[in-house]
Structure 1
Amino acid sequence: MHYQLRFAGKHYKSLQQHLFPGDGKEAVAVVLCGRYERDGISILLTHKIELIPHNECERDSNFVRWKTERIIPLLEEAEKHNLAILKIHSHPTGYPQFSKTDDESDNELFQSVFGWCDYDGVHASAVMIPDGKIFARVFTSSMETFPMNKISIVSDVITIIENELVAEDEFSLRTRQAFGDATYQKLKQMKIGVVGCSGTGSPIIEQLVRLGVGSIVIIDPDIVEKKNLNRILNTTIDDAKNSRAKTDVLYDAINKIGLGTTVKKYNINIFDSREVLDDLITCDTIFGCVDSVDGRHLISQLTNFYLIPYFDIGVRLDADGKGGIKSITASIHCIQPGCSSLFSRKLYTSKRLADENLQRQNPEDFRELEKQGYVHNANVDRPAVISINMQISSMGVNEFLNRLHPFKDELPEAYAKVTMDYTRGCIMNESENDFEQDLLSDKWVGRGDCKPFLRLTEL
């Protein structure tokens, strides 16, 4: 079994502040966690935190004692919805492993937890040390313990803690020189999903492979056509003549490059395959390169429920109605679970989402839906925009790298949205604080598996 623990950034910040109040004494909190369990993978996802008040604890630099009655409401909710309990406390001395005192208190706590909860899925214990690092272990129903194989923190900076290091490659020298060995180690161990393999998706895939990303999942339901040869990397006229799937072409190209990136391909719409969504859930980051509102909404739901960083890439060209282009803009939205969403950022409306859902599910009932595409108010189908697509794709990958290894003058939180207005020659940045929080997303952040899946009845 492969065990993972994921923290929403807002949860991690609250926990860090509570666990280290500055007095050098241990503190404790309990977290209600959603679950993902499938195909030998068990992921715990922070959903709701309970900070145990310091004045209710007996605290010292080497131990903390507290009354577990406070978490009875969490236990009731865990039992009702098959959720997990995570106990997390601090080691202000920096002691980098579980102590004998931890062993005793954890055994006592989790025997009670399993006695309360009928579901036999794992629960977990974690420790945070002063530099913010976390180590953790799971408890099974038979009270066996296993270390967490991976711990992720989805915040302004994407933090991934793995148990293993990977060997350096000669081709990665420039990447390591630019972004550091630690960033390369992260990239090599990451699994990244790319939904949409056309104008922005194919350049992103190319960059991720040449940066040394360990594993990529590529998804697109369409075939290569002559009209889109002008912007999909690695496609040829023969691919169009033979109506090859875009994912097949890029799959072959990645393997031909031969830099060690493993790739899985899906020539299907993400709404039509639970297998595709399961593969995306196990990704460490997702890039959304789709035009559709319903596709963006589904990715937003998935990444919020399962605590995955989401980078949405969009390009828009407005025609002047005379055969020319009036404006060229492109944007990168960096979405954190439980914070603002594409919906709360006004990228689309409820009506537009409903219209697209109707078009996809019942096309015969659909009438006069507003057409979607790169160009509005012009009879041009997806014009040649490879230069813009390449530019915004590169910017998107750099925003991703900036959240692995910050290198800009401002902190990553200042770049929640990056807009490039090419016609005006400017780049505008907006921070997370500039946007309205999506309260519904916050309610379901880290909820994980539930019925209906993602609260979407069609799935």
Structure 2
Amino acid sequence: MAVTLTMTEEQHASLLEHLFPDDGCEAVAIAICGRAAGETKHRLLVRRLELVPYSICSERRPDRVTWPTQVLVPLLAEAAKRNWAIVKIHGHRGFDRFSQIDDASDLALFPSLYAWTDSAAPHASVIVMDDGRVFGRVVHEDGRFEDLTAVSVVGDDIRIYRRATEAPVPEYARRVAQTFGAGTFERLRRLKVGVVGCSGTGSPVIEQLARNCVGELVLVDPDRVEEKNLNRILNTTVDDARDRRLKVDVARRSIEAMGLGTQVSTYPETLFSRTVIQALSDCDVVIGCMDTIDGRFLLNKLASFYEIPYLDLGVKIEADGQGGVDQVCGTVHYIRPGGSSLLSRHQFTLEQVRAAGLQRTDPAQYRELLAEGYIRGAQEDRPAVIQLNSLIASLAINELLARLHPYRSDPNGEYAATRISLMHGIFDREEDGEPCEVMARHVGRGDVEPPLDWAELSLKAS
């Protein structure tokens, strides 16, 4: 099974500062990691770092460090209790592989980690290079070494470190490679993106991801095509509406007909499903194309628990009811784990999250409370059209590309949200704010029961 490691950009910066001190000698750190145990991939998610003080190391030289393993004892007790992983991390200057000293050290250390935690779930050893690159390996219980498939550093930029592969760029992808470079094309080809919502904005998002040769798409939408969808969902037909075909099936049909190599997994069910959450937790990026407040809040929690960058799309047309329009606008939010959230950006309140959940799970009680004035700020459906949906979808895909291949003259941190108003001719952006206190405590937790601390997703509820 493939094993990967993910950390935030703040954690990566902390490691660089600690592992490469001015004295030029090696140093070591320990990462406590949550887990995402998928069917084909096991993700290690850095929950927190323990930086081993230089002063307690018995030996520190440019090519080795000896440190007291007693510092692991309290960490192992916690790891055993919560099924967390231990990752040993040290730095190398210029030498981009594990040394024989590293081999001997790992073979001596890791058997005791497995014995203490009493689990065969993987632990890992990782090297950070002085240029920022990261690579590592699982050290199995029997002493076998197995390379980590990828190490991701998620922040304003999305950096995914993999062993280099030599693969020709196919003719149909040559323009993508010419624009952003063969390296970016290779990242796209190996990227797994989840898209929640396959209607107005989701449809052009999916189209553009596939045309950019993204390797794998996970599509989530429980709804079927209706006649009212035909003017804004790409590739739908009157026959699709007549036969009430699933929107995810129509999207998959279109992608497979392209023949550009994108693999598709479809989930014709609501986001509030254990199966869907597990599928999305395995993605490199998640894009939300839904307008329900509780759904957007849940995706924001998923981004924190599983350290996944999250793009949230919203469009709004406010009609005056007499054939006129008061507002035409849209927004793309980029949410990075450990940063601000949709909640802290005041896109909604926890009371609105609660109301949206009640509207979905108990419509009768929702209507009663709404009539009695106990629920305020409820959103009503607004019209949407393909030209606005496609514009916002394109902004989102360009935002994703900018994170994978920073091409703007200004840093990505200044584009936490991008807003456009067609009525007023405004194109605006805003910087990331302070970390969200509600979401920060969840960063890197990974698999818990119930998933995402969401009672509705518990085994009993399902």
**Could you say which TM-score interval applies, normalised by the shorter chain?**
over 0.9
Alignment match, 2:101: 101
Check the 8 A contact 1:339/1:438 in 2, yes or no: yes
Please list the CA deviations of residues 66-123 of structure 1 after superposition, one character each: whole Å capped at 9, or x if unmatched: 222233322221011110101110012x111111111122222223322321222111
RMSD: 1.6
Aligned-pair CA distance for 1:321: 4.7
Alignment match, 2:392: 392
Letter aligned with residue 186 of structure 2: Q
Counterpart secondary structure, 1:342: coil
1:83 aligns with 2:84: yes
Structure-2 separation of matches of 1:42 and 1:267: 24
Alignment match, 1:353: 353
Counterpart secondary structure, 1:96: coil
Tell me whether 155-164 or 255-264 shows the greater mean CA deviation. Answer: 155-164
Structure-1 separation of matches of 2:95 and 2:202: 44
Alignment match, 1:212: 213
Structure-2 separation of matches of 1:250 and 1:105: 50
Structure-2 separation of matches of 1:206 and 1:397: 10
Alignment match, 1:41: 41
1:415 aligns with 2:415: yes
Counterpart secondary structure, 2:455: coil
Alignment match, 2:197: 196
Structure 2 length normalisation: TM-score?
0.93
Please list the CA deviations of residues 323-360 of structure 1 after superposition, one character each: whole Å capped at 9, or x if unmatched: 31111221111111122111111111111100111111
Aligned-pair CA distance for 1:21: 2.7
Letter aligned with residue 127 of structure 1: I
Letter aligned with residue 22 of structure 1: D
Consecutive unaligned residues in structure 2, runs of 5 or more: 458-462
Counterpart secondary structure, 1:458: helix
Aligned-pair CA distance for 1:26: 1.4
Letter aligned with residue 361 of structure 1: T
Structure-2 separation of matches of 1:65 and 1:254: 53
Check the 8 A contact 1:316/1:374 in 2, yes or no: no
Structure-2 separation of matches of 1:302 and 1:105: 36
Structure-2 separation of matches of 1:279 and 1:53: 39
Letter aligned with residue 300 of structure 1: N
Letter aligned with residue 347 of structure 1: Q
Pair 1:295–1:207, CA change in 2 (3 A): same
* Residues 166-315 of structure 1 mapped to structure 2, 5 A cutoff: 166-271=167-272, 273-315=273-315
Structure-2 separation of matches of 1:172 and 1:343: 38
Aligned-pair CA distance for 1:165: 4.5
Letter aligned with residue 439 of structure 2: S
Aligned-pair CA distance for 1:453: 1.4
Alignment match, 2:139: 139
1:153 aligns with 2:163: no
Structure-1 separation of matches of 2:22 and 2:411: 24
Alignment match, 2:455: 457
Alignment match, 2:460: none
Alignment match, 1:440: 438
Paired residues, number: 448
Alignment match, 1:114: 114
1:31 aligns with 2:31: yes
Structure-1 separation of matches of 2:310 and 2:452: 16
Structure-2 separation of matches of 1:278 and 1:397: 24
Structure-2 separation of matches of 1:227 and 1:85: 52
Aligned-pair CA distance for 1:444: 1.4
Structure-1 separation of matches of 2:197 and 2:168: 31
Aligned-pair CA distance for 1:35: 0.8
Please list the CA deviations of residues 270-305 of structure 1 after superposition, one character each: whole Å capped at 9, or x if unmatched: 11x322222211111111000101111111111211
Structure-2 separation of matches of 1:342 and 1:329: 18
Check the 8 A contact 2:38/2:282 in 1, yes or no: no
Check the 8 A contact 1:9/1:336 in 2, yes or no: no
Check the 8 A contact 1:291/1:372 in 2, yes or no: no
1:333 aligns with 2:333: yes
Check the 8 A contact 2:193/2:285 in 1, yes or no: yes
Aligned-pair CA distance for 1:428: 1.3
Pair 1:252–1:40, CA change in 2 (3 A): closer
Amino-acid identity (%): 43
Aligned-pair CA distance for 1:373: 4.8
Check the 8 A contact 1:35/1:45 in 2, yes or no: yes
Please list the CA deviations of residues 214-244 of structure 1 after superposition, one character each: whole Å capped at 9, or x if unmatched: 1111111111112221211111222112211
